[in-house]
Structure 1
């Protein structure tokens, strides 16, 4: 039996880009000006990059705000593309938009996202919900499940948290995160920081650092005070980076995973961030 491709099958271009049409209504805003208003976006996965980017038909983009880039970038990811500066308000935003090479994605324009690829559009929306950093990958899953597992978190031999009512967050490609009620966390051993981060699947996070003398990175504890609806179960709970602490689950000590966060955490520590 032959399986025919659906309208939303992922396609691969001769240049190595993967792309897929999306039914989502997507808007991009810069300085309160709607630059993109698209009901026909496509998701594009660039070679070597783990998360997708949106590209939009030219007719759904404010092309009157685009100017040929005065100083287009060079390098592997810039090859065979046309870059544009975005003129909204004051100084033009350099290289804020670009085209992809090849016939299949011709007629589409992609944009930089604030806090991902440098200066870019300030706000993005899928339907009526704001999203952050990059588009959500339709092939990635995030589940937040209440549990009765016994979870103990230790930092340099000191128990920093212990609970039998965690919420386990399972996210494709990342280690399981254990979200713990505040009442079960030694908050007296933590200091709040002014650091924050954004996640397209979970929302905006706030952070804490360890107060002790142990050689651990800063901002190793985080919480989502107002998470996105899909992960509402983690609201106000605290999670520790598995990469930097010792976590025991039901009596079994978990190995510290090595992830894309490992380098970032310890590199910032060596640079004297905290």
Structure 2
């Protein structure tokens, strides 16, 4: 069973610069606990770009795959650019006459109005806010201080712990190792840097940064944040308990 909600955003998806889907009244669809996707009427999809295909031969879980049963898979092709099994219809009466297109990073370029969006559509019931602060913040792992700052930007995001974005000058990047990991968030954008803690106990991708975040949270640009779930965080002299969230595992998931 899915949950749906109409929305009046102007949404477009492009492949190789060509608009393959466009709607001013897309339908948001929630599949259980996962972020929403858009489901479009067939006449909102460019003519001739979809071709029925067999189910993809994919192993393992993908955050960007359909989370309920699929009735029909489609290849998406335009201008000689082919995306196999990148669109589908869901087995639910609420969206039986609509088609969902992939949000897998690097495939389609999506915009809501004229602003690029990555990862998944923005949830109208989710709040994201970045506020400058003078709190005293200290970050440590296994007794080693990785950051200390009195000029953080606090990022508040629904259903997630408060994140503390610190000036790079206040972070001991020399104690960590950069990685090639990236993540995508519809509210903040694409990360362009992650760092791991190489010492005991060895924590992968525990810190990240956005050089060009979405305009709504532009004040976090160039700053470094840590997963509260993976480090020892002290704020104004008070040691915070490590929260439990989808990021409590050391395995990085989309949307830092």
Which TM-score band applies after superposition, normalised by the shorter structure? Answer: 0.7 to 0.9
Q: CA deviation at 1:210?
A: 4.3
RMSD: 2.4
The structure carrying a bigger strand percent of its residues is 2
- Measure, in 1, the Cα distance between the counterparts of 2:67 and 2:162: 32
* C-alpha contact 1:71 1:94 (8 A) present in aligned 2: no
CA, structure 1 residues 247+78, in 2 after alignment: closer, same or farther (shift >3 Å)?
Answer: closer
**Among 14, 20, 33, the residue aligned to 2:18:** 33
Match of 1:6? none
Q: In structure 1, how many angstroms separate the alpha carbons of the residues matched to 2:252 and 2:71?
A: 35
2-structure distance, mates of 1:103, 1:192: 47
> Residue 181 of structure 1 corresponds to which residue in structure 2?
167
Instruction: Tell me, yes or no, if the aligned pair for 1:52 and 1:136 is still in contact at 8 Å.
Output: yes
Q: Which TM-score applies when normalising by structure 2?
A: 0.87
Deviation (angstroms), 1:60: 1.0
Aligned partner of residue 180 in structure 2, secondary structure: strand
Name whichever structure is richer in helix by fraction: 1
Whether contact under 8 Å (1:70, 1:94) holds in the other structure is no
Three-state SS of the structure 2 residue aligned to 1:19 is strand
> How many pairs align?
246
1:190 paired with 2:180, answer no
Does 2:151 align with 1:161? no
Which residue of 2 is the match for residue 55 of structure 1? Answer: 39
* The 10-residue stretch of structure 1 (184-193 or 76-85) with the greater mean CA deviation from structure 2: 76-85
TM-score, length of structure 1 as denominator length: 0.82
- Report what 1:226 is aligned to: 212
Following the alignment from structure 1 to structure 2, what is the Cα–Cα distance between the partners of residues 238 and 226? 13
Task: For 1:164 and 1:113, locate their aligned partners in 2 and report how far apart those are by CA, in whole Å.
Answer: 38
Determine the C-alpha separation between the residues in 2 that align with 1:162 and 1:79: 48
Pairing 1:1-274 to 2, within 5 Å after superposition: 16-46=1-31, 48-71=32-55, 77=67, 79=69, 81-90=71-80, 92-115=82-105, 121-210=107-196, 212-265=198-251
Question: Residue 29 of structure 1: SS of its match in structure 2?
Answer: strand
2 CA distance for matches of 1:18 and 1:227?
30
Deviation for aligned residue 1:175: 1.0
Bigger Cα displacement from structure 2, 243-252 vs 63-72? 63-72
- Considering Cα pairs closer than 8 Å and 6+ residues apart, tell me whether 1 or 2 has the greater RCO: 2
| TM-aligned CA distance change 1:194 to 1:80, over 3 Å | closer
**Structure 1 unmatched ranges of 5 or more:** 1-15, 268-274
Report the Cα offset of residue 91 of structure 1: 7.3
* Structure 2 gap ranges (5+): 59-65
SS at match of 1:49: coil
Deviation at 1:209, TM superposition (A): 2.6
